[in-house]
Amino acid sequence: METHNASTHEFDAAIALTPTGDGGFTGRTHPAYGNMVGPFGGVIGATLLNAVMSDPALLGDPVSLTVHYAAPIADGGFMVRARPLRTNRTTQHWSVELTQEGQVAAFATAVTALRRDTWSATDARFPDVPAASGLAEAPAIPRAAWTSRYEMRFIDGGPDSAVQDGHPSQSRLWIRDQPPRPLDFVSLSALCDAFFPRLFVRRPKWVPIGTVALTTYFHADAARLQAQGTEPLLGIAKALHFGQGFFDQSAEVWSSDGKLLAATHQVVYFKE
């Protein structure tokens, strides 16, 4: 197994930003993370988070990230600009915009915070599931390059498995970067958008579809993510409601040793 470090992995090339000297950045979509049309949204969100985390004014670690996919993003270059809207003693609120040809194509808001030890408890439950090593790797989808950048091993709700455990749109899978890359906030934020649209799990019919807005809550600090290394993460994704052109889906992302690292929620447009 080959492990790439952060400086040589294609993910890092895909989210790379170049300072423009006036506080902004330029970036460029990367073919390794292409989607059927334009770039994979998870990498766009990670790029916006990267702008926040690259800012000299940054306070602490990401606590929440909301990404709006406002319009189709064309393959090629873009501009990114992050602004702290409010800085408190231990928390900071951010706004980030990605523009192409002067128009906003994506934007994000984020909360970062200095975290410290407090009382803790996890009410969500880590399920009893087989280890990743005993499960087959799902094939990538040739028309969506980004799917070959994640190793996905489905427990249920996968492309070749209609059986779910009690919830009709649920998938449970072990997932990690492909090739493996040590986990950090930017890669975790992208992975939170790597759960296939629940509509396709629920209803085997192809229709145009696209995430409109995605929110992720981070339940780990940098040290916890670092401890995860390149081990597979357990993802559990399910939808709540489909109707009138939109559905929502939520997912939990767990470390290999049963710690909840992130909870993520999104609303998705579908054509019919």
Contacts to a copy of itself by CB under 8 A: 63-64, 66, 68, 70-71, 85-86, 88, 90-91, 93, 95, 97, 103-105, 107, 109, 111, 113, 115-124, 167-169, 198, 202-203, 212-213, 215, 217, 219, 221, 238-246, 248, 250, 252, 260, 263, 265, 267, 269-272
Contact between residue 164 and residue 57 where contact means Cβ atoms under 8 Å apart: no
Residues written for the chain: 272
In whole angstroms, the minimum distance from the beta carbon of 62 to a copy of itself comes to 11
Say how far apart CA 179 and CA 151 lie, in whole Å: 8
Please report which helix (H) or strand (E) contains residue 20, including its range: none
Residue 56: Cβ within 10 Å count: 5
In whole angstroms, the minimum distance from the beta carbon of 168 to a copy of itself comes to 5
Choose between 18 and 161: whose C-beta lies nearer to a copy of itself.
161
The pair of structure tokens assigned to 57 is 């004014």
CA-closest candidate to residue 41, choices 10, 67, 2: 67
In whole angstroms, the minimum distance from the beta carbon of 271 to a copy of itself comes to 8
Say how far apart CA 212 and CA 27 lie, in whole Å: 21
In whole angstroms, the minimum distance from the beta carbon of 85 to a copy of itself comes to 5
Choose between 86 and 143: whose C-beta lies nearer to a copy of itself.
86
In whole angstroms, the minimum distance from the beta carbon of 244 to a copy of itself comes to 4
End-to-end Cα distance, the chain: 42
Say how far apart CA 237 and CA 217 lie, in whole Å: 15
Say how far apart CA 148 and CA 125 lie, in whole Å: 29
Say how far apart CA 89 and CA 95 lie, in whole Å: 18
Choose between 137 and 165: whose C-beta lies nearer to a copy of itself.
165
In whole angstroms, the minimum distance from the beta carbon of 160 to a copy of itself comes to 21
In whole angstroms, the minimum distance from the beta carbon of 141 to a copy of itself comes to 22
Say how far apart CA 209 and CA 207 lie, in whole Å: 6
Beta partners for 171? 237
